Structures are given as structure tokens and as C-alpha cells.
Structure 1
Amino acid sequence: MTTNPAERLVDLLDLERIEENIFRGRSPQERLQRVFGGQVAGQALVAAGRTTDGDRPVHSLHAYFLRPGRPGVPIVYQVERVRDGRSFTTRRVVAVQQGRTIFNLTASFHLPEPGFHHQLPMPEVPGPEKLPKLADELREHLGTLPEAMERMARRLAFDIRYVERLRWTPEEVRGAEPRSAVWMRAVGPLGDDPLVHTCALTYASDMMLLDAVRVPIEPLWGPRGFDMASLDHAMWFHRPFRADEWFLYQQESPVAGGARGLARGQIYDRDGNLLVSVMQEGLFRPLS
């Protein structure tokens, strides 16, 4: 039995092949209302990647969260081999749980080829070594962590460090720009399979992107006033990377309204290279 959270993440992404294009993924039994969306997205991308030759890294994915998944119930991933071209490979994945479709994803893989390069610069922020771990920052404010938070901190597969100190009062929140940024990396080695690193970062990309929508509304780690759910998720992968090395996840929300909020993120490595771009829309319904 694995005890390291990073090893558990790798194990979670290691799907069982049932047939040529059908895979089954575990869904841990946890005290959550729904399966974490990043888990489903990461597992679906593993399924897609395992039906390719492996010489074409994924360059983009587009996904929709259709129904909440049930924790503790296996998820079956059905892969459609849409296209195998000279330069691009396309896969469509449908995630099914208890006979119902809960998620679908389309992923495109591109054979590396030469081309020109440019990017906007990474924002200037303190390095992760100068910032407190998320659990330490929570303990500093709360004194002791509630049991649920303590359990989460022990099981978290990523070291998370907010670039700005967390806001805890309505006065601190009021007038804040809808932006957030964190340094992240897996808490242990993830091996050398590039697909595992891509899928692990896909998992992590859903952990807090919608934070940017909430920043002007309520403290991120205080009592939540909204029922939140991811609606869709898109990613573009620009360069190779390792998810067990530090990356900066810069997030902002350009608009929110009609019970929906849009967030976009850019993920950079320590050298300022833009690795991944992310977009997500979430549902925000006030709790009654």
C-alpha cells in the first residue's frame, strides 16, 4: 500500500485496460459530494494517451463536466480513435459511471516539429522558498486545523504556496482584483513517463483555478457561500515539463455573471517559460 501522496496520485492515474479502447479508473472513497474533476480529467487523458504511439505529446484538450461522479465507484473510460494523421492524432473520451455519462474529453496530440517561438513574460513574484506552505499558513491563522483540513493536508499530492497572503475578512476581500497565483509541485517524484506528468498537471490545474472568481467575493479558505462546480475545462500544452518541479500557476477571472464565472490560467516554470495555458468556466450558486 502506497503512503506517499505523490505515489498515490501516480497509482490513481494508472488505469486498468479492459479492452482495446476501454479503461477503468479507481475513484477513492472520500467524504466529498462529488468526484474531484481534476481526477476525471487526468484519468481521461491517460486513457486517450494510451491509445497513441507515444511519440506525440498532447498539445490540447477540451472537456465538459456533465454530471457529478460518485466517490468510491469505478469510472469507465471509452476512447474513440477519431483520427491518426501524419502530424496530429485526435482522441475522444467518454467517462461513464454506473451507466451514465459524467464527462467527455477531446484531446489532440502533435508530432514535435520546428517553428518560431515567442511568449509574454512571466509576472515577477517571490520564489516558492520565500512563501509558506498552504497548511502552515492555515495553521498560523486558525491555530489548529479542523480534522477535514488536516486530513486533506496529509493526503494532498501537491505542495501549494500562495504568492499573496490569504485574505480572511470581508474587509480584506472587498475591492480585491479577481486574481490569484500559487507555486505548486508534486510532493514526491512522479517517475519519468511524460504522459504521467502531463496528466498529473491536468489533475492539479482543476484544484484552484476557480479561486480567481471567488477572490473579490469571499475568503478562499473561510466558510463558502456558494455551491461550486466546474462546467468545462480547456488546456494547451506549449512545452515539456515535470509536475514534480516547481511551477507558477497564475490565475485571473475576466468576467462573472449569471451564476457562472470564467477563469484563465498560465503555468510557468522557474525559468519563466510558459508551459501551459488553461481556461475554465464554473457554476456558482448561492447556498440557501
Structure 2
Amino acid sequence: MSQALQSLLDLLDLERIEQDIFRGRSRSAVVPRVFGGQVAAQALVAAGRTVPEDRFAHSLHAYFLRAGDPGAPIVYSVDRIRDGRSFTTRRVVAVQHGQPIFHLSASFQAYEEGMEHQAPMPPAPDPETLPTAAELMPRYADVLKDPVVVERLLEARESVDLRYVDPPPYGTVGEPREPHSQVWFRTNGKLDGAVDEPLLHVVLATYVSDMTLLDSILLAHGRGGWVTGDVVGASLDHAMWFHRPFRADEWLLYDQESPSASGGRGLGQARIYTQDGRLAISVIQEGVVRIPRHQ
């Protein structure tokens, strides 16, 4: 396992300070706030640690309430809303400086057989044929002029191998495209031993799901986003449904699109498939997407 991946796992390994209260820390962010995927993943860890081991996360619904402070710990308080025969429900509130910054509801289910169908996997190239982040970013040195931004983008990709099928939003600034984006991702290293548990794979997918979901909104308007400074954005809410087992250390296709943007907000929706074509996760997120006033 790489040191970068171990650091990410350490970040997601919360400290238990009371029976249903946990404390997490943050890592340096590209923007001066806590990365939303980190808070969502840590909140899911907190919820999962209060649930019987035979129950698996099948959905989460979350709201981002305030920007998190990367320099302060985050306290996660878990409410045990329901423990039924088949389903377990938890509510988690993340608090910093005495104020809630994030709210999550998560549902867990005991395994059972049921009806089966799924939407087919869309065509996508082999991920091994696509450039890594370290290979991709130098191609766009003319728009990625801030070395701090580049350094932190590359740092975020050290633990997660994320590869764009088509150029990212900052790669085609000024050229509106179809509001559709695909990326392949997996952890940068294998998960095994004591850390290899079903909840961890779900938590890692939750972490990555906030990285690129709003890209398709930017593509429709030919904008590069926060990387180029031509859009101000932030996640507002986030929902995920976990349909089938998967591994976060094996390639997953993140197929994303935006059906609408209006009123300073944009909607992204996506499906995540395993490399052999199984639909593993559905995702929907709305975010603030504003054009800076000086433009």
C-alpha cells in the first residue's frame, strides 16, 4: 500500500470520544475549506461504526451547511434513529466551532435476495490507456498557472488514481461541450488485511464521488471551474445509492451528466459501474455554480 493511500485511510479512521461521538481531522485543501467528500466519508464512517456488522450501507442523503475549517477538528455526533429487522437508520451531524457544518442520514440493510435488473454500462475506453493526473496536467500548463493549485491537485491524486476519458473542464475553456463526463477511478494501491472491509470501499467511493460530479455543468458552458477561477462553486447536497458490492481498489467508471443549471445552482447525476459492467452506485448532487461578479 502506498504512503498516500495509507494517509487517506488514516484520515478516515475517526477517533471515538464517546459511544456515539467521533472526532476527525482534515487534510490541506486546494480551496480554503474542508473537501466535501472528506466530510461525507467521515460521517459515513461514524454512522457505520454504530451499526451491526451484518448490515451494509445502501443509501445516504446529505446537506453541506457551512464551509468546514481545515485547521480545526470535526466532531461527528450519531443519532440511532431506527434499528429494524431489515434496516438500520442513522443521522449524523458534523460540528465545528460549535456550529453544524454538515448533516447526513444513512440507511443500512441486512443482505437479502430480490429482483434484479440494471441500466447497461455505457461504452468507455480501457482505463489503462488513459493518462494519469501527473501525465495530464502538464498539457494544460497555460491555464493551470497557479503552482499551489497544481501541487494540491496532484497531491489529491496520489491516493486516488483518477483518469479522465475526455479532457477535463479546464482543458477546453471557452469551448462549450455536451454536459457529460466520464472518469475512471480506483485507490492508488490495493486494500487488504485488517483494513479490507465492505464499509471502507463504500466510504472511499463516497470520498471520490465529490471530486468531479459537477464537471458536466462546467462543460456545458465552456468554463474551467475553481481551477481557473471563472466559476465559484460549492456542494449543496449529495445523495448516493449503493446497489451492488464493489471494490474501491479496482477500476470504477464514473459516468456523469448534468440535466439542468439555473438560479446559481447546477445539478449533477451519475452512475458508477464496475469494470465488468455491474451498476454499483447511483449519485445525485446539487451545487452552487456562480460566475464571479468581476466577469
Which one is further off, 134-143 or 91-100?
134-143
| Aligned: 1:73 with 2:75 | no
CA-to-aligned-CA distance 1:120-147 (integer Å, 9 cap, x gap): 1100110101111123111133289753
Partner of 1:205: 209
Shift of 1:194: 1.2
Partner of 1:244: 249
- Return the letter of the residue paired with 2:102: F
Partner residue of 1:280 out of 279, 285, 293: 285
Shift of 1:154: 3.4
The count of aligned residue pairs is 285
User: Which segments of structure 1 move beyond 6 Å, counting only runs of 4 or more?
Assistant: none
- Which runs of structure 2 are paired with 1:1-288 in the superposition (5 Å)? 4-30=3-29, 32-142=31-141, 146-148=146-148, 149-156=150-157, 157-166=159-168, 168-170=171-173, 173-174=175-176, 176-191=177-192, 192-220=196-224, 223-288=228-293
- Return the letter of the residue paired with 1:264: Q
Shift of 1:180: 0.5
Supply the RMSD in Å over aligned alpha carbons.
Answer: 1.8
| Structure 1 gap segments, 5+ residues each | none
| Structure 2 gap segments, 5+ residues each | none
- Return the letter of the residue paired with 1:74: P
Partners of 1:76 and 1:130 in 2: how far apart? 42
Shift of 1:230: 0.3
- Return the letter of the residue paired with 2:247: R
User: How does the TM-score come out when normalised to structure 2?
Assistant: 0.92
Q: What secondary structure does 1:153 align onto? A: helix
Q: Given that residues 268 and 285 in structure 2 are in contact (C-alpha distance below 8 angstroms), is that contact kept between their aligned partners in structure 1? A: yes
Q: Given that residues 139 and 145 in structure 1 are in contact (C-alpha distance below 8 angstroms), is that contact kept between their aligned partners in structure 2? A: no
Q: What secondary structure does 2:55 align onto? A: coil
Q: What secondary structure does 2:43 align onto? A: helix
Q: Given that residues 253 and 264 in structure 1 are in contact (C-alpha distance below 8 angstroms), is that contact kept between their aligned partners in structure 2? A: yes
User: How does the TM-score come out when normalised to structure 1?
Assistant: 0.94
Q: Given that residues 262 and 281 in structure 1 are in contact (C-alpha distance below 8 angstroms), is that contact kept between their aligned partners in structure 2? A: yes
- Return the letter of the residue paired with 1:228: G
Identity percentage over the alignment? 54
